[in-house]
Amino acid sequence: MWMAHGYISSTGTMEVEDVGNEIWNELVLRGFFQDVSRSGVYFKMHDLVHDLAQSIMENKVIGTQVEINKTSAPNTKFRQVNLRNHCVAFPTRILPDLDLTSALMSYSRLRFLNASCSNIDDFPSEVGKLKHLLCLNLSYSNIRSLPNAICSLWNLKILNLNNCEKLVSLPKDMRYMRNLRHLLLEDCFSLSEMPPSIGELASLQTLSVFIVGHEKDNQLKEMKFLNLGGKLIIKHLERKKNLVDAKKAILAKKQNLRDLELRWGVDNASKPGEDVDDKVIEALQPPKYGKVTGFGVLPRLKKLGLDELAVQYIIEDDTGGVNSLIPKFPRLEELYLRSLPNLEGLLKVEMVEMFPNLQTLSIRGGPSLILPKLSSLKSLYADSCSSVTLTSFAKLDNVTDLRMAIDESMTCVPQQTLGNLTNLKRMTLVGPSEHSLPVEGLRGLKSVKELNILKSKTLTYLPKEWIPHLTALETLYIIHCPEFVEFPEEIKYLQTLTRLNLSNLPKMTCLPNSLQHLISLQSLSLWELPRLTLLPDWLGNFTSLYALTIIKCPNIASLPAIIQGMENLKKLTIQACPELKRRYGQKEKGEDWHKIAHIPDLWI
C-alpha cells in the first residue's frame, strides 16, 4: 500500500521494499505498531496513535469514508478503492453493493484496488483500463480466472492472489507485465501450472509458488533469471522434463530466499523411486557445489520444507544413515518434513550440528518420532505419527509450543510426553479423545496458557481430569469437534481464562450453563454453531467481557436483553446471521439498535 501511493521509494543502494521494511521496523520499535504476530501479518496501532492519525487525516483528506451509490459522479482524485467495508485506508472510498464494472470505469486513476475477502468470482476486463494501478489485491476471493486484459497493466507491481482457492489459471500473457515485482499465490489449490514464459518477468522479486508444468515454456528453467527472495514453494517436481532443465533453475544463486519448500505431486511423470527423481535436489543447484552441499550457499535461508523424495535423498546415505555431506544451516529456524516413511535415520544427534538455531520442527507422517537434544527448539509439531516415543523430552525444556495429531492407532499420548515440558505455553491436540492424556502426564499442563482442541471425532466434553492442571490457562479453542456439547462444572475453577472460542460444533444447541462461572472472560467467539438458537442472560455475569463475536450462527434470533447494560463490551462482531442483522444491523433503524448503540466498535 505504501508503494502504491508513492509514500516510499528506492534509494541509490536500497530497493523500495527494503526501505519500507526499515520504516516498518522503526515504527514497531517506537511502539507505533504493537502486538505484531510472528508472521508480521497481524498487528494493531496504539489507541492514542490511532486517534491522532484519524484527527490529522480528517483535516487533510475530504471524504475519507464516503459511501457512494451507482449514481455518484466519477471522481479521479481517489487513489484507492476497497470493496470490503472493514478495511479503511487514506484516501479511500467504501463501495457497498456497487457494480464492479462501474467502479472500474469511474475511478480511472486508481493506484490500489482492494477486493480481498470479496465474493467476486468473475473479474471484468475493464480492469485493463486502470493504467495507473500499482497494486491489485484479490486474496481470499472467489475468483476463478483473470481476464487477459490485466496483462496490459504495465505499471502493476503487486498482484496478490493468496488463498484464491478456486483460481484455476493465470492469464497467458503475463510475461508482458515487466514491472510486476510481487506475485503472491499461496494456497491457490486449484492452480495447476504457471503461465508460459514467466521467466521474462525480469523485475519479479517474489513468486511465492512456482508450479512446474508439462510444456517447455513453464518448466524449471523459467526461474533461471529470476532474482527471487522471500518465500518460494516449488510444486510438482515430478513433471520436470530432464535434469538439464532442473539445473537451469539455479536455486543456490537466489541469495535472498528465506523460505524454501520442495514438493512432488501425485500425477507423476516419473514414479517415485526412479533415479531421475533421486537426482533432482542435485540438479537444482550448480554442480560445482557437490551432491547436496549446494544448499549451503543459501546463507539467509530461515525456513526449509521438504517432502519424502527430497528428504530421502538429502538425509539418507547408502547405508540408510544421516548423510555426512549435509552442510550446516546456521540461520535455519524452521524445518518442515512431510510424509517420511522412516524418521529414525534423520532424528539423531547430528541434527544439533546441522541446525544449531532450529526453533520450529514440524514432522508429518511416519511410524515413530525420537528426538535428539535440540536446545534451541521452541515449537514442535508432530502430525500423523503412529507412535510418539518422546524419550528425550527432558532435554527439550525450551519447547513452548507443542502440536500433536493423535490418530486412531494411538490410544493415548505417552505419559513422558508432557511431564518434562515445564515451559510449555501453547498446546494443540488434533483428534484427541477423553483418554488421550494419561493422569501421569497431566502435570505438563500446568504452564500451558493456550489450549487448542481440533478435529476430534469422539470428544463430547472437556475431560474434568484435565482442568485442575490447567492453572495458567488463558485461552481455550475448541474447533471442528462434531460431537462436542458440554463442559463440566469444574470449569469454574479456570479463573485465569480470558478468551474462549467455540467453532464448528454442529451438535451444540445452547451454551452450557457451566460457562457462566467464567467471570474473568474478556473475549467470547462463537463460529459456525448452526443449531445454537439463543444466548443466555447470564452473559451479563461476564463483567469483564470486552469482545463478542458471532459468525455463521443463523438460528440465533436475538441478543440477550442484558447486553444493553454490559458497559465494558467495546467490540461486537456479527456476520452471516440474517435475523441478527435485521434487528441490529441498521443504525438507528433496526428495531433493537438501541440495545447495542453504546458499543463503540460494531461490525454487523
Q: How many CB atoms lie within 10 A of CB 538?
A: 14
Spatial distance between the Cα atoms of 538 and 52, rounded to a whole number of angstroms: 38
**Domain-embedded: residue 420:** no
Residue 123: band (very low, low, confident or very high) from pLDDT cuts 50, 70, 90? confident
* Mean pLDDT lowest among 232-246, 318-332, 394-408, 540-554: 318-332
Same domain, 26 and 114: no
Count: domains in the chain: 3
Spatial distance between the Cα atoms of 297 and 284, rounded to a whole number of angstroms: 12
Same domain, 78 and 21: no
Q: Are the C-beta atoms of residues 154 and 177 closer than 8 Å to each other?
A: yes
pLDDT at 484 over 70: yes
Same domain, 156 and 78: yes
- Residue 572 phi/psi, 5° resolution? -130, 125
Last residue of a domain, one of 60, 80, 110: 60
**Domain-embedded: residue 236:** no
Spatial distance between the Cα atoms of 506 and 482, rounded to a whole number of angstroms: 6
Give the mean pLDDT of 31-56: 79
**Domain-embedded: residue 479:** no
Same domain, 40 and 140: no
**Domain-embedded: residue 517:** no
Mean pLDDT over each residue of the chain, to the nearest integer: 76
Same domain, 45 and 136: no
Q: List, for residues 269-294, the tens digit of each pLDDT value.
A: 444 444 444 456 556 653 333 333 33
Give the mean pLDDT of 18-40: 84
Which residue, among 470, 510, 513, 469, has the nearest Cα to 489 in the 3D structure? 513
Same domain, 79 and 177: yes
The CATH number of whichever domain residue 171 belongs to comes to 3.80.10.10
Give the mean pLDDT of 543-548: 93
* CA 563 to chain centroid: 33
Same domain, 36 and 83: no
**Location of C-alpha cell 552442510:** 327
Same domain, 53 and 91: no
Strand segments (E) across 431-537:
450-454, 475-479, 499-503, 523-527
Same domain, 40 and 81: no
Range of the domain at 33: 1-60
Which amino acid would we find at residue 191? Answer: L
Same domain, 133 and 43: no
**Domain-embedded: residue 585:** yes
Residue 544: band (very low, low, confident or very high) from pLDDT cuts 50, 70, 90? very high
Which amino acid would we find at residue 232? Answer: L
**Domain-embedded: residue 245:** no
pLDDT at 92 over 60: no
pLDDT at 517 over 80: yes
Same domain, 3 and 81: no
Q: List, for residues 174-233, the tens digit of each pLDDT value.
A: 999 999 999 999 989 999 889 999 999 989 999 999 998 888 888 888 888 888 888 888
Last residue of a domain, one of 60, 83, 104: 60
Up-side HSE of residue 293: CA atoms within 13 Å toward CB? Answer: 7
pTM across the whole model = 0.65
**Domain-embedded: residue 168:** yes
Q: List, for residues 346-363, the tens digit of each pLDDT value.
A: 544 455 556 677 777 777
**Domain-embedded: residue 165:** yes
Same domain, 56 and 153: no
Last residue of a domain, one of 165, 191, 217: 191
Q: Are the C-beta atoms of residues 479 and 455 closer than 8 Å to each other?
A: yes
Output the pLDDT for position 164: 92
